[in-house]
Amino acid sequence: MSKEVLEFIIVPPFSKRSEVDAAKERLIAHLGYQFPGYTFKVGPFVPVGDEDRFTVLPVMNFVGDDGKSYMCEQPKRWFLQDIADCCAAFELKGKKSFAA
């Protein structure tokens, strides 16, 4: 049983964690607009990846109809990089009235 990853956790760079937290709803809306069909959550800073860049963590498991846990197909590296690049380009200090 195979399934595509549909949910991602975005981990902000350590230096931008408070800015990202303040713009969390706008960032999630922006990502949903840029990548329709996928869902995103913004997590706290965790010691994974590069602390100076956005880290994108795919939610890889799902529960099948039989109640067992399965792993999703690993997303392509370029797709994860596209999401991280979109996060980095997002204007964190934008006004709420200009939300995507």
* Domain count along the chain: 1
Question: What's the pLDDT band for 44 if we cut at 50, 70, 90?
Answer: confident
Residue 46 within any structural domain of the chain? yes
Residue 78 within any structural domain of the chain? yes
Query: Closest Cα to residue 12, out of 38, 39, 51, 40?
Result: 51
Residue 22 within any structural domain of the chain? yes
Residue 77 pLDDT > 90:
yes
Structure tokens at 88: 């980095």
pTM: 0.84
Q: Write the pLDDT tens digit of every residue in 6-32.
A: 999 999 988 888 899 999 999 999 999
* DSSP strand pairing (61-63 vs 69-71): antiparallel
Residue 18 within any structural domain of the chain? yes
Residue 44 within any structural domain of the chain? yes
Residue 80 within any structural domain of the chain? yes
Residue 57 within any structural domain of the chain? yes
* Whether the Cβ atoms of residue 42 and residue 28 lie closer than 8 Å to each other: yes
Domain with 46 in it: 7-92
What whole-number distance in Å separates Cα of residue 78 and Cα of residue 5?
14
